[in-house]
Structure 1
Amino acid sequence: MGKKKVIRISVLVSGNGSNLQALIDAIEEGSIENAKIVQVISSNASAYAVERAQEHDIPVNIITKHDYADIRDRMDAILEALNNESTDLVVLAGYLSILPKKVIDAYEDRIINVHPALLPKHGGKECYGIKVHEKVIAAGETESGATVHYVDEGIDTGRIIIQGIVPVKSSDTPELLQARVLKKEHQILPEAVRMVMREKGW
């Protein structure tokens, strides 16, 4: 058998980049084989995720609302960046913009997102960041967690790949729950990438 193709991953970020770090670590440790992060695309020039990428010599593309006021221009720039790196898989790791149909169609069934709740509960337009955990606690849930799913035209509605569950404690604040869920995200995102690669025969 010939050498397996190296799967080219582009990661889209907006903030701290701890999920990006989890992917970098998994690839460097060899727990994700035959994969390479070929670029990080950030919607925020000052995101710590940018520093994480640079520390590992991963090329960074800054594509912000400031630089591209028109969303169509911004998404064309993202699409061009993805195409330029011959991207096989797009990972949204704390990316706070909604990708339009044009991008989703171009990478159909090849875009995945990590969401800090157990979908289909607590998903949708207003469920991001600390707001998700506020809603989980307000709803009286006894468990929460993280979900990695394929991205479709809906918001948090794509096919679920994997979920990880954590307890919601009576003493929880949204911040405490967020920290517990984030640890679970770091566990399941690399596993989701492995599952996608297996599913697609990569």
Structure 2
Amino acid sequence: MKVAVLLSGTGRTLDNFHSEIGASRLHAEIVAVASSSSRAKGVEKAKQYGYPVFASDEKNQRELSRQINEFILPRHPDVIVLAGFLKLFFMPEGFEGQVLNIHPALIPSFCGKGFYGMKVHRAVVDSGVKVTGCTVHFVSPIYDEGPIFLQECVPVRAGDTPEDVAARVFELECRLYPKALNLLADGRVKLSDNKVWIEE
């Protein structure tokens, strides 16, 4: 399965994908990496890994998406994966059900515009909830409102800092995102009536 990866920051999720592919645990080929920042560390990592890379500092989100799509579509990705991509992505026509994002909380909690990175984990700790986690979902035109694909939980313990929670959640993300991609590659995912069903 051919994958295009979109990022905005350090590229930690790209690191994980690259490692999992190298270990034959992720059945995918990264055919393109695109960034919403030319200064993102993930851009340099992608170059070091030998992936085709595009980076733009375009502020208009629709124009940024157009530029990214112009770069990735000739490489024929089967799936577009948002990996710490902090802009609203306007997917290309015909890609409904083929664009994924991972959110560092259990949607529909602690999500939507403005909830990203450490802002999510601070809100989790401040709220007093006892569990959090991450959600892999299909992308829609609204932040974090696409059909939920996979979710898993981790505990929030007494005395946890936002950094403690972030580390625990990211460890979970490193397992759950490749799992989601493998399910897609195996053809076991069905999307119907805005719900995701996984065939056993």
Q: TM-score under structure 2 normalisation?
A: 0.88
Q: Do the aligned partners of 2:80 and 2:99 also contact (CA within 8 Å) in 1?
A: yes
**1:98 equivalenced with 2:88 (yes/no):** yes
Compute the RMSD of aligned alpha carbons: 1.6
Q: After the TM superposition, which of the residue ranges 11-20 and 161-170 deviates more from structure 2?
A: 161-170
1:141 to 107, 119, 129: 129
Matches within 5 A, 1:22-61: 22-33=16-27, 35-61=28-54
C-alpha deviation, 1:72, in angstroms: 3.4
What percent identity do the matched residue pairs reach?
35
| Residue in structure 2 matched with residue 181 of structure 1 by the alignment | 169
Equivalent position amino acid for 2:170 in 1: L
Q: Map Cα deviations across residues 4-33 of structure 1 (whole Å, 9 max, x no partner).
A: xxx211000011111111111111111122
| Residue in structure 2 matched with residue 9 of structure 1 by the alignment | 3
2:14 to 20, 30, 37: 20
C-alpha deviation, 1:104, in angstroms: 5.3
2:182 to 191, 194, 202: 194
Equivalent position amino acid for 1:14 in 2: S
C-alpha deviation, 1:200, in angstroms: 5.9
Q: Map Cα deviations across residues 143-190 of structure 1 (whole Å, 9 max, x no partner).
A: 111111111122111112212211101111111211111111111111
Q: After the TM superposition, which of the residue ranges 49-58 and 123-132 deviates more from structure 2?
A: 49-58
Q: Do the aligned partners of 1:75 and 1:99 also contact (CA within 8 Å) in 2?
A: yes
| Pair 72,124 (structure 1): closer, same or farther in 2 beyond 3 Å | closer
Q: After the TM superposition, which of the residue ranges 119-128 and 108-117 deviates more from structure 2?
A: 119-128
Figure out how many residues of one structure are paired with residues of the other and give that number: 189
Q: Do the aligned partners of 1:104 and 1:151 also contact (CA within 8 Å) in 2?
A: no
Q: Map Cα deviations across residues 72-125 of structure 1 (whole Å, 9 max, x no partner).
A: 33221111112121111000000000113xx25441110000110011111111
| Pair 9,92 (structure 1): closer, same or farther in 2 beyond 3 Å | same
- Structure 2, unaligned stretches of length 5 or more? 190-200
Q: Map Cα deviations across residues 13-62 of structure 1 (whole Å, 9 max, x no partner).
A: 011111111111111111122x2101110111121212221221111101
Equivalent position amino acid for 2:67 in 1: A
| Residue in structure 2 matched with residue 112 of structure 1 by the alignment | 100
Equivalent position amino acid for 2:32 in 1: Q
- Structure 1, unaligned stretches of length 5 or more? 1-6
Q: TM-score under structure 1 normalisation?
A: 0.87
